[in-house]
Amino acid sequence: LAKTTQPISMDSYEGQEVNITCSHNNIATNDYITWYQQFPSQGPRFIIQGYKTKVTNEVASLFIPADRKSSTLSLPRVSLSDTAVYYCLVGDPGSRGTGANNLFFGTGTRLTVIP
C-alpha cells in the first residue's frame, strides 16, 4: 500500500517560493504521483501529476528524484489565495479494481500564506 507522509502544516510569506515534500517509500513501478489542492468548503482540485524527473505547468512544478521515494511540489511566489490544504497521492493510473489502495489522500499539508 503506497501511502504517503507529508508535513502537517507550513507557513510562508507572500511572494516566497514554497516547497512541500511528500514521502512515499513504498511506491510501485507503475505508480504516478499526483497533487491536489483543497480550499475550505470545496472539493479538491488537481494541481499536477508526474512519474519521474520534473513536471511543470502554469501553476506549479513537481520534482521527483531518481529513486521516486519522495516528491516535492513547488509553488512559485505564493499569494494569500494559495492558503489551502495540499494532498499528495500515489497510485497506479492504469489499474482498476483496487481503488482503496490507489486513491489515498492522507491528511495533507495545510499551507498558510502570511501577508
Partner 1 sequence: GAGVSQSPRYKVAKRGQDVALRCDPISGHVSLFWYQQALGQGPEFLTYFQNEAQLDKSGLPSDRFFAERPEGSVSTLKIQRTQQEDSAVYLCASSFSGSYKGEQFFGPGTRLTVL
Contact residues: partner 1, CB under 8 A: 32, 41-46, 49, 85, 87, 91-100, 102-108
CB-nearer residue toward partner 1: 78 or 85: 85
Distance (Å, whole) CA 108 – CA 16:
20
Identity of the residue numbered 69:
K
| Closest CB to partner 1 among residues 16, 26 | 26
Q: What's the CA gap between 29 and 18, in Å, rounded?
A: 28
Q: Least separation, in Å, of the C-beta of 94 and partner 1?
A: 6
Question: How many Cβ atoms sit within 10 Å of the Cβ of residue 32?
Answer: 18
Please report, as a single letter, which amino acid is at residue 108: G
CB of 60 to partner 1, least distance (A): 14
Using the minimum distance from each CB to partner 1, give the nearer residue, 15 or 59: 59
